[in-house]
A and B are shown apart, each in its own frame.
Chain A
């Protein structure tokens, strides 16, 4: 009978400072010599992390009521449009929204400015009602004047992601970076064996309520991420070979650090936001031990041509090849470059490891598991009646 552990047992060990916590890179190294049975005996928690641009991110803000009050029906923060359909002074600012007069400055920059303690100009308009008579307000806000400042990211931490190349004769500017013509570079964004959802590919431990590292503080997985896709092609180890599942996450921005939340602007694409996420995976049994033992040579991803409509697949490579600096696609050697920071991801995995070892962080049993048989709809266009 092989060893199994419960969340409670692991948390007791964490509290007593007796738990063994390793990063996913460390356990991948360990697995070259030890079997999953031995790993489940030796290791209690494995930390995983990623620090990449995650476009589907944003913040819920409550501005507080002015006197006389206003029911905000059009809202701008430093010129960036925010959502106005949430009561009088609630709003949601999306990371990729941008100031039309200065498209390189967007929602992500507003979030970062607030996080760094800077003043941000709030301007709002309304029609004026009996209970909210005011029609216009222009003032300054900062992290201390607002009430709630909550990070709520509908789609983060993609489980694997494609490699981007460009077969055309002109440079392509994409969210995967600048792609040189004629297959002269290839970009990739996942932290490979350290990546959270690649270490728990079937969501055996990650689910609703999982406590995570988010932007430098404790946050939570709150839902399956949008475009949650669990039936993409997988390799023989059960790891999807293209972008698969995602998670929605939430956390208190007032506790976060600008070191792990970073606004970004991509040439001829737009604004996005780097988000630092770390997820602890409790090693409950040999199956989970096997999953977290995975290394870069066993994780594959698809090479897609971002220069051609429909992004056709040109090949499949491993993260070991990607991190070596060159891959071979269609017989051609191509230079690779990451577009997400492995250095920062490692820092997050180490930080989370420390929190766990110091007894400051518990592993959480999900209150609800995520679905396991989901796929996606495309947007089917239908004729619209004009009457």
Chain B
């Protein structure tokens, strides 16, 4: 069993299919919808956490992609310009998901992208503007 987060982007004409139903029913994947922005007839974006057997998740992702929906691993959509980070800690103040933490020994910023829920609060919180999240 593995657990992984994906960002899905729907084109305007794909809003009428029950993808999550198929993922559960045909691929035995447990789904947690962490964030959703769906504008019928325009576009939709979803942050899903998929939990299941590795091969089932791979097949499920292929199934989604076969319907002209982009489906990318969350960590590929998050950018943190670590080399410019001064480890001030401002972003950890707003990260209620616990993805951004200060290491209590080194006081270096640690970013565990697998815990990110794309609340996007770190983007304005960073005084050096080092975060980018591509959700939409």
Residues of A that sit less than 8 Å from B by CB: 51-53, 104, 173, 177-180, 184-185, 187, 262, 264-268, 272, 274, 323-325, 337-344, 346
Complex Cα gap A104–B127 (Å): 10
Distance between B132 CB and nearest chain A CB, rounded to angstroms: 15
Query: What chain B residues lie within 8 Å of A342 (beta carbons)?
Result: 87, 107
Do the beta carbons of B104 and A339 come within 8 Å of each other? no
Query: What chain B residues lie within 8 Å of A104 (beta carbons)?
Result: 129
Partner of B87, one of A185, A187, A344: A344
Do the beta carbons of B90 and A180 come within 8 Å of each other? no
Q: A178-B94, A274-B86 are known contacts. Are A343 and B107 too (CB-CB below 8 A)? A: yes
Do the beta carbons of B93 and A341 come within 8 Å of each other? no
B interface, how many residues as a size bin? 20 to 34
Do the beta carbons of B107 and A346 come within 8 Å of each other? yes
Do the beta carbons of A341 and B127 come within 8 Å of each other? no
- Asked if B36 lies at the interface with its beta carbon under 8 angstroms from chain A, I say no
Complex Cα gap A321–B38 (Å): 43
Query: What chain A residues lie within 8 Å of B87 (beta carbons)?
Result: 341-344
Query: What chain B residues lie within 8 Å of A52 (beta carbons)?
Result: 88
Q: A51-B86, A187-B93, A274-B86 are known contacts. Are A343 and B125 too (CB-CB below 8 A)? A: no
Query: What chain A residues lie within 8 Å of B93 (beta carbons)?
Result: 177-180, 185, 187, 337, 339
Query: What chain B residues lie within 8 Å of A340 (beta carbons)?
Result: 88-89
Complex Cα gap A253–B23 (Å): 60
Distance between B84 CB and nearest chain A CB, rounded to angstroms: 9
Query: What chain B residues lie within 8 Å of A173 (beta carbons)?
Result: 124
Complex Cα gap A95–B94 (Å): 25
- Asked if B67 lies at the interface with its beta carbon under 8 angstroms from chain A, I say no
Complex Cα gap A264–B128 (Å): 5
Residues of B that sit less than 8 Å from A by CB: 86-90, 92-94, 96, 102, 104, 106-108, 121, 124-125, 127-129
Query: What chain A residues lie within 8 Å of B128 (beta carbons)?
Result: 262, 264-265
Complex Cα gap A264–B125 (Å): 11
Among A179, A265, A325, A338, which residue has the most Cβ atoms of chain B within 10 A?
A338
Among B92, B106, B121, which residue has the most Cβ atoms of chain A within 10 A?
B92
Do the beta carbons of B86 and A267 come within 8 Å of each other? no
Distance between A238 CB and nearest chain B CB, rounded to angstroms: 27
Do the beta carbons of B104 and A323 come within 8 Å of each other? yes
Do the beta carbons of A339 and B88 come within 8 Å of each other? yes
Distance between B85 CB and nearest chain A CB, rounded to angstroms: 9
Query: What chain A residues lie within 8 Å of B104 (beta carbons)?
Result: 323-325
Q: Can you pick out 21 interface pairs between chain A and chain B where the beta carbons lie within 8 Å of each other? A: A51-B86, A52-B88, A177-B94, A178-B121, A179-B93, A180-B93, A180-B94, A185-B93, A185-B94, A187-B90, A264-B127, A266-B127, A268-B124, A323-B104, A337-B90, A337-B93, A339-B90, A340-B88, A341-B87, A342-B87, A342-B107
Query: What chain B residues lie within 8 Å of A339 (beta carbons)?
Result: 88-90, 93
Distance between B125 CB and nearest chain A CB, rounded to angstroms: 5
Complex Cα gap A266–B94 (Å): 13
Q: A178-B121, A185-B94, A343-B107 are known contacts. Are A338 and B89 too (CB-CB below 8 A)? A: yes
**Nearest-neighbor residue (CB-CB) of A346 within chain B:** B107
Distance between A260 CB and nearest chain B CB, rounded to angstroms: 10
Query: What chain A residues lie within 8 Å of B96 (beta carbons)?
Result: 180, 184
